[in-house]
Structure 1
Amino acid sequence: MKKRNYIAYGLGDLYGGGSFFIISTFSMYFLINVAGLNPLLAGLVPGFGKIWDSVSDPLMGYISDHTKSRLGRRRVFFLIAILPIAVTFTLLWLPVSCPGQLSTFLYYVVAYLFFYSCSTMVLVPYSALSAEMTLDFTERNRLTGTRMIFSMIATLIGGLVVQPLINAFPSQEQGHLVMGLVFGTLFAVPYLFVFLGTWELPVVQKPLGKEKSVFRNFGSIYQNRSFRIHIIMYICSYAAMDILMAWLKFYLIDYLRRPGFITVGLGTILVSQMAALPLYVALADKRGHAVSYRMGLMLWGLAIAMMAFQTPDSSVVALFINCLLIGGGMSAGVVIPFQLLPFVTDVDTLMTGEHRAGTYAGAMTLIRKLIQGAFVLPMLGLLLNMIGYTPHPADVDLVQSASTIFWLRGLFIVLPLLLILVGIKASTRFPITPESHAILRSELERVEAGGRREDAPERTKTVCQRLTGKPY
């Protein structure tokens, strides 16, 4: 595999990483302080899209696994989605003047439905593709590592450019709309190059009896022990990241009274996140993904705990160092769960004889959206309402009550820290290592060549049982 192929594949996550980062970081503030929605309604906007996602993500995984096209069962969707990516992202930032809260709420619910449908159509086959471009352990890690580099480039651009771009216009309304247009285009165009620079290996499916329904097919993947643990690790790290990013702007403006630090803080987190990524990829290659994940989350948890000592009188240098450490630890939580996807699908192939990377990618895409849209953002809106947060434009210096500040500060630290600790605990049970994966691949090749499972060496049977969670 050549460098240009790694780069072509990685370009696709400019959309996945960048769009979800911008939504996590800026959408709540936009919906509350620009669109004028009540915080509770603003938090519910993305959540309504999750009802549709609970259908569309499993369906897209099933469709992608069963697509027959001369352009491939994954890559064909990249061409279809180029224009919808640009349009649906822009619609999220269109300031509407509707009579009353309900009409405004309904507009943004529909806009998010369109956005999430488009992202499903693209990101499910895109995530599945890394399992089908190569079977090699190191190449798969490099593909996902390259993907995460581009994801972080997109988030870095978002962190450094979004707020200054918005502020460059006479009104917040104009600034957000132009931002949506610019980034919608940035996310859409690269998929032409993703299509041209990638491929799909031939897939030979085991002859099947009765075809599973879409939802039985989707539900069956949770029988895979490796995947169940992987999903817990994924949920914990991404929920912690989404809470941190969604809360950060409120924390800096309303508690630390440093609105000018938003771009610096985001940029610092994202640059250190990107700088640390090759270290975690290299560590995963040598020691396994679980070790790499734990090392990063320990650093991240320590950095979050250090935020408890930040006050409005703290030096900017101390805050900068804190953000640097947060990004350095968060990097592992971002990259490792996506690196694991091709390997847990290998376990599924051993269990079922099928190649269902699309179904697994659909599950990850659904869970990613549920974390952000049905959990983090609605919870944030509910909590802001409960602690008595008073909405205000970014250029209005409003002092929140002492009680609101207390809860704003405490929840910013406690919620991500709890999730990080659960993720660390789950990673100690994750069974896939470079050694166990080599045994798995050898057994897959033996079985696909006609070998019987009962003839496997005892060591192989033990490893396969740990990976699958079922007798082998």
Structure 2
Amino acid sequence: MHGTPSLPVRTKLAYGIGQVAETIKSTGFDIFLFFYFTQVLGLTGTLAGLAVMVALIFDAVTDPLAGYVSDHWRSRHGRRHPFMVVAAVPLGFAWFGLFMPPQSLSQIGLFFWLAGFAILVRGIMTLYYVPYLALGAELTKDYQERTSVAAWRGVCGVLAAALVVLVGLSVFFPDSAEFKNGLLNPAGYPKVALAGAILMSLAILISAWGTRDRIALLPKASNSLVRAPVREDIAAAWGNVSFRALFVGTMLVAVSIGIVQTLNMHLNVYFWQLSSSAIAFLAIGLLVGWPVGIMLAAPLHRRFDKKRTIIVAALIGPLAGNVAVVARLLGVFPEQSSPLFVPLIFSVLFVAGVAAGLAVISGASMMADVTQEHHFRTGRSQEGFLFSATAFTGKMAAAVGYLVAGVGLDLIGFPVQADPSQVTLAEVTRLAWLNLSACLFGFASACAYFFYGIDRARQEHTARELAAREALL
């Protein structure tokens, strides 16, 4: 849409910093939490997967509620900022408590501690993150500027992930004579939890403060929105073909991510037999790839549009993320002593990171366009509800992925609290095949995105018509 003023860089930066909180939470869950409760504390894979699944289902159910309440909220501080501020400090306390279970808890005790605090963390994060995502869609109506806003959020997220992986692993989990892999040392987990809690709370407060000057310019809850029942909101959203495409695509990707994230650290420690320092180094490949993908998003959207970009990313991501695993299973990947071992893993992780960055930024920008079209069709500004609806299906599907992976670990007989040298070749081979099952869901998501129907011309036409309508009010 031409003629729309660009957002100040300071506003984009402040908004982007808000992503740090969610990234620390999600990266912490992916890298530390499941591994900590299974391999360090000894919780079975089934109970750990079930606990995470319960928390994700609770999280998914509260997402639309948070979006609905936020869309309807009326205050002098706007619809989004009050929720962001209120969540900041409680989130930090909940995150720290998650990693501090009392000693000598039974299996059932560990299950309830993990499930209870995971629910608390995710519930508070929802209170913050759903309004935060909606705020990003409301900051601008420009087609390309929305990609820029999403890119700033993505870059800040990548930096936060790098902080968690590189600093978290090297500082809090150094390899030692007692623990050849530092991730097996229980003393590091309270420290990394405290650091994460402080950073999450600060990031939220900085983001809310740095974007407060935009509150007066943001959409307000409309009278038509207040009168509309929830079932009409759901029916109107589902009637949008582009929304359905993103909804289903997100669901399929989430199942894949749930499986991969649950098994990722197990794969690093037992399949690749990497030390914590090597895991941190190789993770740079993925983390460097993310910002490259983010920076490529805008020019690729101009050249090929958002739909084609996300389809290609959805196809490349699973291939790049698993080609090294397949090669090793087939016996054609270099041995760990080979000088090509680390560079090859680094390279495929870099490509996977590029694809992930492209997919995330494209999806966020596409959903912002969907919310605009929904507003035009229905007359209701419901960024919070629509973003939360997509998050709902993503988390429900991810819950299934976590449970599949957790139960799968027990079905293949993978040991808990085991030293890497004690795990047999047959066990790590079964672990690798379990991880590869995630690829099918990743490829299926590309098929769903084919049905997305909003291109640049359609978005700009909708924006002009919407602006003309609002000018008459």
Q: Please give the range of the TM-score, normalised by the shorter of the 2 chains.
A: 0.7 to 0.9
Shift of 1:291: 1.6
Q: Deviations over 1:82-119 (max 9, x none)?
A: 21121111122113224421122112211011101101
Letter in 2 for 1:441: A
Match of 1:5 in 2: 11
Letter in 1 for 2:266: F
Q: Deviations over 1:357-383 (max 9, x none)?
A: 1111222333343343x1222221111
Match of 2:357 among 314, 331, 339: 331
For 1:209 and 1:280, the matched residues in 2 are separated by 33
Shift of 1:44: 0.9
Shift of 1:126: 0.1
Q: Deviations over 1:115-138 (max 9, x none)?
A: 011011000100000222221222
Find out whether 1:309 has 2:327 as its counterpart.
yes
SS at 2:186 equivalent: helix
Shift of 1:14: 0.5
CA 1:123–1:215 in 2, change beyond 3 Å: closer, same or farther?
Answer: farther
Letter in 2 for 1:248: N
CA 1:86–1:431 in 2, change beyond 3 Å: closer, same or farther?
Answer: same
Shift of 1:180: 0.6
2:158–2:290 Cα contact (<8 Å) kept: yes
Shift of 1:397: 3.1
SS at 1:42 equivalent: helix
For 2:272 and 2:158, the matched residues in 1 are separated by 26
Match of 1:273 in 2: 290
Equivalent pairs, count: 447
Shift of 1:181: 0.7
Match of 2:123 in 1: 117
Match of 1:349 among 375, 380, 396: 375
Which range is displaced more, 278-287 or 342-351?
A: 278-287
Letter in 1 for 2:315: M
Find out whether 1:149 has 2:155 as its counterpart.
yes
Match of 1:381 among 393, 396, 406: 406
For 2:449 and 2:391, the matched residues in 1 are separated by 20
1:58–1:215 Cα contact (<8 Å) kept: no
SS at 2:227 equivalent: coil
Q: Which runs of 5+ in 2 are unaligned?
A: 1-6, 179-183
1:59–1:214 Cα contact (<8 Å) kept: no
Match of 2:37 among 23, 31, 36: 31
Match of 2:389 in 1: 363
Match of 1:235 among 235, 245, 251: 251
For 2:57 and 2:471, the matched residues in 1 are separated by 43
Match of 2:209 among 196, 199, 203: 196
Letter in 1 for 2:309: S
Match of 1:46 in 2: 52
Letter in 2 for 1:383: G
For 2:80 and 2:56, the matched residues in 1 are separated by 23
Find out whether 1:409 has 2:450 as its counterpart.
no
Amino-acid identity (%): 22
After TM superposition, the structure 1 = structure 2 runs for residues 91-130 of structure 1, keeping only pairs within 5 Å, are 91-130=97-136
Letter in 1 for 2:373: V
SS at 1:318 equivalent: helix
1:237–1:423 Cα contact (<8 Å) kept: yes
For 1:159 and 1:397, the matched residues in 2 are separated by 21
For 1:178 and 1:438, the matched residues in 2 are separated by 49
Which range is displaced more, 213-222 or 381-390?
A: 213-222
Match of 1:400 among 423, 430, 435: 423
Match of 2:4 in 1: none
Match of 1:297 in 2: 314
2:57–2:396 Cα contact (<8 Å) kept: no
Q: Deviations over 1:425-472 (max 9, x none)?
A: 222221111111112222323444569xxxxxxxxxxxxxxxxxxxxx
CA 1:353–1:209 in 2, change beyond 3 Å: closer, same or farther?
Answer: closer
Q: Which runs of 5+ in 1 are unaligned?
A: 452-472
SS at 1:208 equivalent: helix
Letter in 2 for 1:244: V
Shift of 1:206: 5.6
The TM-score normalised by the length of structure 1 is 0.88
Find out whether 1:158 has 2:175 as its counterpart.
no
Match of 2:141 in 1: 135
CA 1:153–1:98 in 2, change beyond 3 Å: closer, same or farther?
Answer: same
SS at 1:71 equivalent: coil
CA 1:202–1:146 in 2, change beyond 3 Å: closer, same or farther?
Answer: closer
For 1:312 and 1:256, the matched residues in 2 are separated by 11
Match of 1:88 in 2: 94
Which range is displaced more, 285-294 or 40-49?
A: 285-294
For 2:442 and 2:225, the matched residues in 1 are separated by 43
Q: What is the root-mean-square deviation in Å for CA atoms of aligned residues?
A: 2.4
For 2:394 and 2:237, the matched residues in 1 are separated by 17
Shift of 1:10: 0.2
Match of 1:187 among 179, 200, 206: 200
Letter in 2 for 1:301: P
